Structure 1
Amino acid sequence: MKRILVMALVACFVLGAAMANAKEMQFSASFEHSLQWTDNTDLQDGKTDGANEDDFSALQRVRMYFQYVTSEDLRAVVGFEYDTTWGVVDSQVEGSGGSIGTDGGEIELKHAYTDFKTGPVAWRVGLQGVAWPSAVAGNPIADNDVAAIVGSYAFNENVSLVAGFTRLYTDEDGQNKGDIDALTAILPIAMDGYSVTPYVIYAMVGQDAAAAAGLAGITNEAGITAPADSLTALWLGAAVEVSAFDPITFGLDLAYGSVDAEEENNDRSGWFAAGIVSYKMDMVTPSLAVVYGSGDDDDTTNGSETMPYLDSATAITHFGMDGAAHNLAGNVLTDRHDFMAVALILDDISFVESLTHRFVLMYGQGTSDENMADQAGTVLTEKDTFWEVNFDSTYQLYENLALSAKLGYVSVDRDEDTWAAATEETDAATKMAVTLTYSF
């Protein structure tokens, strides 16, 4: 609590100084309070894996954003985040500060950037959120906060260009072995009834960072040496949206990525595609989504055939995939792309005022060769199938206050001949989370 008080005093000082120079100050915030129950999140046999049985956690997150606006061409934004897990004492554990006394914990600097214009070019410099294009459910390569310099220029009302530099990791000793620097260019094209947004990402990856970030081909997770030198990575992608046939809409994500290393076993290249068709109705919006990602073959000497990524955000579901919010359980299935799936989605279900629901049923299987089981982080092979169910409800108590409940169920059927440890007693994973959100 003392740290929060000190931070509040510092914020008051900063705000006072800023108001003397800024013509307008804007403030926004959100307070999220969650209770979560999970079971068997590692998808192992629940009868023997007590560490993941009947886990209960209470969490909260506070985000505060301050904008100092001088004009429509110049502003500065700073955002703070404070995450707490109730009851955590150890200051070394993320989310500490929720034990008795509520002392401790750390306030994180979420965003800190400056927006300004030089002629027709708009710039954003600093710690910011960068999301590469997606028309389905999150970009499969990267979608997160980064340190970046991003510029944008509008050729006309239909075509613009966004280009930037991001530093994702760096070595503290300055030897560059742990550096990942990325250059990107995005070309949004928006026409009447459709939009196409191609993009390219080129990254220079230090050898230490390659293994840690999972960018190398078959790394030392499979008993093969990590890269002996730095790597280069290249991604090409596009997001396509079609609204010309409204209320029927279409979305398509395509991405290809490759990593080039000195040793062939550290090469990596693969592709990912996701498509969705939706039909908006008065009380529900049904959608059908399809996902496919290339998988590894059975040769560990020629690198990996799965698409590399920096920070995947495939968020069709919130339990098996990356759609979870507020540090709630997610990515239970995998954060890789070597799987294919089909999902039925019923969104914006509403029969009662202020109450909406979302239902997702997904079925799929892995795309990596069965001989890659337990190799290089593979968790799903072509012999394994899975299915997931999500059912979520949100009730708007007030204009700025919402109460939501999220239910998740994931079941994996592993081939016993492929996975020596697989048994018929392998249990499914379950999740229930209740969140109260106040935003203003």
Structure 2
Amino acid sequence: MRKRLGALALAASMVVGLIGAAHAATEVKMTGDARVYGNFFENRNYTGWNKTGTKTEDTFEIWERFRLRTDFVANEAVKFRFGVKVEDTWGYGTFTAANPSAAVQVDLAYLQFKVPGCDGVEVTAGLQDVNLPQSGLFYNSPVWSDKMAALTIKAPLIDKTLGVLVGFGRLIDTNRTFDTTTTQRADELDAYFLALPVTLEGFKATPWAMVSVAGRNADYTWKDTTDVAEWGNNFANTLVSAASARNMTTTGATGYWKNSQNPYYWIGGAFEVTALDPVKFYADVIYGAGAQNDHKAAKREGWMIDFGAEYTGLDVLTPQVFAFWSTGEDKSTRNGSERMPYMRSQWGPGNSFLFDSSQELGKGSNMYTDPVGNYGIGASLNNISFIEKLTNRLTFVYVRGNNNARAIRDARAYYNSSYFAMGKDLTTNEYVMALNLDTKYMIYENLAAVMETGWAHGEFQESVWGHRLVHQADSNGNNAWKVAFGLTYKF
């Protein structure tokens, strides 16, 4: 124990020394946030099991996350940001009492500077937040919204009217410097993206596009080990068709591709209309496609659109209504997939309990329903405030499937049993709905007490998912419940 404390003290003194040395030449600024909350969640995935029905849930856990961002500012034109994160449950990993394991993650690491002589041109290189454009009512992009090791350039083209964002990111490089044999292997996943935000009086539009080059031998089966959805963040399910995913492995995700590389592309637009303020309108249109020149069964393409409106003329609440629609699978898996490909989605209106989106108490926060392949409607009473420092939000969403039952059944039987999941992907005969009530009380300016509650109900086809999963959901009334309470602090 003495050796461990001594090593910790030495490491701390070195960090302080480095910051002191850096401060002599640069300005050091620190910001961050922390959240600690208890989470009661019953009947995850409507069954109380994981998505494949092989594990049983624990209904209560306590999560803690701490993030620290440090900016090393040379001057107003140059800085480097370094961010770290610790996130886990009490009693596990870092927060184990007897023998804690180190779990500090590098969350951000990028250099940012303004180009000399080019007014407003900003370059960012390194691990950074990249969010494809999305209208404000729907939080973030269903295609990509996450950290990315990237080079991005932002510049104004017409002052206060037209700008440009262009970037390149490398998402995966499975073998890094050397491939596994003397034959070169296509083991990378790269992305090139462009956005042109247009701002006029009472109107904002952002057309955008992204092209991703996917190598046949890249590892698309990775997963975030701290993600309670387990394989929810898995490109093998979100990017490729069911036929392509059938043979993917961590050592060489060859799948069902004849080409060594396949391009994927997305074209979209995000729109916001405030000309009729206090009535505001929001909409997004996205088309995505990939592997179009490969085997017929390897192709994947589809659409997603959303639309919403809100009324901001009331002091005590903001009513919102919204809807979305996305193409789903037809009855055959041999002709490819008719669902829009995507990679990292954080889309969701009204902080809905169904979608992985804007929840403040993030881990174990929702049902992970996939907006792609489904359609739905909903309403929210946002920013409800009758008492000073206390705000509430009440949201209801109904979602129905656009996927043919035969396609999901065949994909699970012949290709990959975990490619689709009950409650996440819905057939045309299935639906889910959810109600959530969220509350925040500002104890101090930067300290809040937050409570998020959610209820979800679904109806599922036994002929698609099998008797075991559907019967288990039926035994729970096809209901899921969540109550999370905790503290959030920002500094």
**Is TM > 0.5 for Structure 1 vs Structure 2?**
yes
User: What amino acid sits opposite 2:460 in the alignment?
Assistant: R
The equivalent of 1:434 in structure 2 is 485
Alpha-carbon distance in 2 for matches of 1:45, 1:144:
28
CA pair 145-45 structure 1, distance change in 2 beyond 3 A: closer
Shift of 1:255: 0.7
Structure 2 residue 274 is the aligned partner of structure 1 residue 243: yes
Cα separation, partners in 2 of 1:234 and 1:220, compared to 1, 3 Å: closer
Q: Superposition pairs for residues 191-270 of structure 1, below 5 Å?
A: 191-209=200-218, 211-212=220-221, 213-214=235-236, 215-219=239-243, 225-228=255-258, 229-260=260-291, 261-270=293-302
Residue aligning to 1:306: 339
Partners of 1:222 and 1:44 in 2: CA distance: 25
Residues 329-381 of structure 1, C-alpha deviations (whole Å, 9 max, x = no match): 24524335111010111100011110000111001201011112342426311
Amino acid at match of 1:129: D
Matching residue's letter, 1:392: D
In structure 2, runs of 5+ residues without a counterpart are 222-234, 249-254, 412-418
Distance apart, 1:142 and its partner CA: 0.5
Task: Decide whether the 8 Å contact of 2:243 with 2:333 is kept in 1.
Answer: no
Is contact 2:352–2:397 with CA below 8 Å preserved after alignment? Answer: no
Structure with greater proportional strand content: 1
What is the deviation of 1:318?
4.6
Within the candidate set 317, 330, 333, 1:297 is matched to 330
- Taking a change above 3 Å as real, the CA distance of residues 388 and 124 of structure 1, as seen in their structure-2 partners, is same
Residues 145 and 4 (structure 1), Cα distance of their counterparts in 2 relative to 1, 3 Å cut: farther
Greater helix fraction, Structure 1 or Structure 2: 2
Offset at residue 253 of structure 1 (A)? 1.2
1:367-416 CA-to-partner distances (Å, cap 9, x unmatched) read 01111234242631111011011110000001111000000111111134
Q: Residue 218 of structure 1: CA displacement? A: 2.1
Aligned twin of 2:110: 113
The correspondence of residues 181-196 of structure 1 with structure 2, limited to 5 A, is: 181-196=190-205
Aligned-pair CA distance for 1:325: 4.2
Distance verdict in 2 for CA 1:5–1:290, change over 3 Å: farther
- Deviation at residue 197 of structure 1 after TM alignment: 0.3
Does the residue aligned with 1:246 lie in a helix, a strand or coil? Answer: coil
The reply on whether 1:31 has 2:34 as its aligned counterpart is yes
- Letter paired with 2:242: I
Counterpart AA for 1:97 = T
Paired residue for 1:139?
141
* Structure 1: gaps spanning 5 or more residues: 89-95
Structure-2 residue corresponding to 1:377:
420
In structure 1, which of residues 96, 99, 105 is the aligned counterpart of residue 96 of structure 2? 99
* Separation (CA, whole Å) in 1 of partners of 2:387 and 2:99: 39
Post-superposition shift, 1:41?
Answer: 0.9
1:321 equivalent among 319, 343, 355 = 355
Per the alignment, residue 339 of structure 1 pairs with 374
Alpha-carbon offset, residue 102 of structure 1: 6.9
Question: What is the match of residue 122 of structure 2?
Answer: 122
Output the TM-score relative to the length of structure 2. Answer: 0.82
Q: 50, 56, 65: which one pairs with 1:61?
A: 65
Shift of 1:21: 1.1
**Deviation per CA, 1:8-36, whole angstroms, max 9, x where unpaired?**
444323312221211x2211121111110
Whether 2:43 is the aligned partner of 1:40: answer yes
| Shift in Å, 1:210 | 7.4
Counterpart of 2:173 in structure 1: which amino acid?
T
Does the C-alpha gap of structure 1 residues 233 and 221 become closer, same or farther in structure 2, counting only changes over 3 Å? Answer: closer
SS at match of 1:219: helix
For residues 112-137 of structure 1, give each alpha carbon's deviation from its aligned partner in whole angstroms, at most 9, with x where no partner exists.
Answer: 11111223221011111011111132
Measure the CA separation in 2 of the matches of 1:357 and 1:31: 21
Return the letter of the residue paired with 1:123.
Answer: V
User: Is the Cα–Cα contact under 8 Å of residues 30 and 70 in structure 2 kept in the other structure?
Assistant: yes
3-state DSSP of counterpart to 1:11: helix
Taking the aligned partners of 2:15 and 2:376, their CA distance within structure 1 comes to 47
User: In percent, how many aligned pairs have the same letter?
Assistant: 26
Question: Match for residue 308 of structure 2?
Answer: 276
The 3 A distance-change label for structure 1 pair 222 and 170 is closer
Structure 2 CA distance, aligned partners of 1:219 and 1:84?
A: 35
Range that drifts further, 96-105 or 383-392: 96-105
Is residue 386 of structure 1 aligned with residue 432 of structure 2?
yes
Structure 1 residue 105 displacement after superposition: 2.5
The alpha-carbon deviation at position 144 of structure 1 amounts to 0.3
Greater shift, 186-195 or 69-78, is seen at: 69-78
8 A contact 2:246–2:256 mirrored in 1 = no
Report deviation, 1:103: 3.1
Q: What's the offset of the Cα at 1:194? A: 0.9
Q: 1:315 to 1:6 in 2, by over 3 A?
A: farther
Deviations 1:68-117 (A, max 9, x none): 222221111111111131011xxxxxxx1212157323211111111112
- Does 76-85 or 194-203 show the bigger shift? 76-85
Secondary structure at the aligned position of 1:20 is classed as helix
Q: Distance in 2 between matches of 1:309 and 1:186?
A: 17
Tell me how far apart the structure 2 counterparts of residues 29 and 361 of structure 1 sit (CA, whole Å).
32
Contact 2:352 2:395 in 1 (8 A): no
Scaled by the length of structure 1, what TM-score is found? 0.91
C-alpha deviation, 1:179, in angstroms: 1.2
Shift of 1:222: 5.6
CA distance in 1, matches of 2:322, 2:395: 10
**Residue range with higher mean Cα deviation, 130-139 or 322-331:** 322-331
Q: Which amino acid aligns with 1:395?
A: Y
Letter in 2 for 1:237: G
Q: How far is the alpha carbon of 1:59 from its aligned partner?
A: 1.1
Alignment match of 1:177 (pick from 186, 190, 194):
186
DSSP 3-state at the match of 1:373: helix
Count residues with an aligned counterpart. Answer: 430
For the structure 1 residues 265 and 102, does the alpha-carbon distance in structure 2 shift closer, same or farther, using more than 3 Å as the test? Answer: same
